[in-house]
Amino acid sequence: MSVFQSAIRLPYLPLLAALLVACGEQRRPAEKPAAAPAVDSTARAPAPAPPDTVDASQTSFSFGGGRDTSFTLNGQRYRLLLRAETDSAKPLTAVSEGIVGEAFAADTATFAQTQLVRGYEGAQLITLLDPAGRQVFRRRLPKSAFFAVAGRDVVTVSEPQRPRFIGAHGPSQTLAFTIDIGVPGSDVSEQCVLLLGFDGNVKRLAISYASSFGAADCSPRLLPDGTVLTCQELIWPGGMSHLVKRESELIAAFMLSDTTLCTVYRYGAYKAVETSTGSPTEYEPLDDLASAGFAETQWVEKKSMRNSPNAFVINTRGQVRRAFRYEGYQGAIAHAVPRRYVWQTHSYYLLDEERGLYVLDKHNPTQGGEIRFKQMQRFRKPQRPQEVRFVIGTETRTFAFYVDPAKPTQLRYERIERRD
């Protein structure tokens, strides 16, 4: 069967060409590769859609590598072998962009002048096996494959992590992975999304977040309709919609259902804080100089947007279904929207610990609204038989809420004492 040719618009054609050269396939010479996973195009009717089981209650912001796994397509189970390797016999150097510090200097005596840091060659390896255990493809991605989408200095000193599989889509013949790249011994990290065809060719390599500091509350996803959420954009065969907006920071992008998601922004920009001498101040280097000093910056709000909607329910093509104002997000390193899905009311409850809750109906996201604490009753025992109890916490406060499924916007609440 012929291999599906991706129709995704690629704005970085030179990067793709470089990837296809750098990431050449390696097949077992003694054995003919198995055919790519078949997609049945003769079926009279599409299979019934699986139930929508999305529950975006929990923030899924994780680090580290993946593991070998399998997936089922057209009733056949395929297996993925996911590896990472380092070659200490092949050193690499790069000029520090300010994040990687002297602990990784190529020469400590000249680092102040050259800013050169050193790492070693490495790669990620992805092997697809068919149901009979035969190799379909083996793809190797060296560190150089990531230079155009992630910080070259961070990639150079990083210790390669195994790819993490996030999904397969038969109609578009797409396999999706995330790959984490970080400075060893620090909390500085970046994440990429990799899309491979069933033939092993690279369809797209994109950034998910460029720094764990300020990363959005978002997990890359491959959706049932073939759309990929990278946490920077929505990509589908034939097009894309950018999630990042000018003069704003993306706070969150999480799925509400298989076909809708919620995005949250804050409007403004980071600006350097100057000292009396006119020079930006710097933090002390971290952890034995594993990272360089950061120029101190401060978030400056765009005042003209202070009362504008900053949260949006959108579909998988980026079209807005609902807009509202929400300011309850949290963030120390990564951002987070404290929330809970209550299946009995088929509603999401987003917490603003100063104001109350914002409610979104999963099946009809144009419905919902804000419920202030002053509109809720204080909880008094006993709990009523029909009430459902759910808890939402932040870094500073934890609340329990009680809701009658027949009345999803009428709640009682109590503040729970924390024992830190």
User: Tens of pLDDT along the chain (420 residues)?
Assistant: 433 333 333 333 333 333 333 444 444 444 555 667 765 443 444 444 556 767 766 555 555 679 999 999 989 999 999 999 999 999 999 999 988 999 999 999 999 999 999 999 999 999 999 999 999 999 999 999 999 999 999 999 999 999 999 999 999 999 999 999 999 988 888 999 999 999 999 999 999 998 888 899 999 999 999 999 999 999 998 899 999 999 999 999 999 999 999 999 999 998 876 644 444 444 334 344 445 444 567 889 999 999 999 999 999 999 999 999 999 999 877 899 999 999 999 999 999 999 999 999 999 988 889 999 999 999 999 999 999 999 999 988 999 999 999 999 999 999 998 765
Q: Dihedral sign for Cα 343, 228, 71, 173, please.
A: positive
| Long-range contacts of 39-46, Cβ-Cβ distance < 8 Å, separation of 24 or more | 39/4, 39/73, 39/74, 39/170, 39/171, 39/173, 40/74
Q: Give the domains, in start order, of the chain with CATH numbers.
A: 13-37+54-337 (2.40.128.510), 338-420 (no CATH)
Q: Burial of 60 by CB count in 10 Å (0-12 exposed, 13-18 middle, 19+ buried)?
A: exposed
Query: How many residues comprise the chain?
Result: 420
* Side chain identity at residue 220, one-letter code: P
* Side chain identity at residue 184, one-letter code: P
d(CA 311, CA 318): 13
Token digits of residue 400 = 């329990």
Token digits of residue 396 = 């500073």
User: What pTM value is reported for the model?
Assistant: 0.82
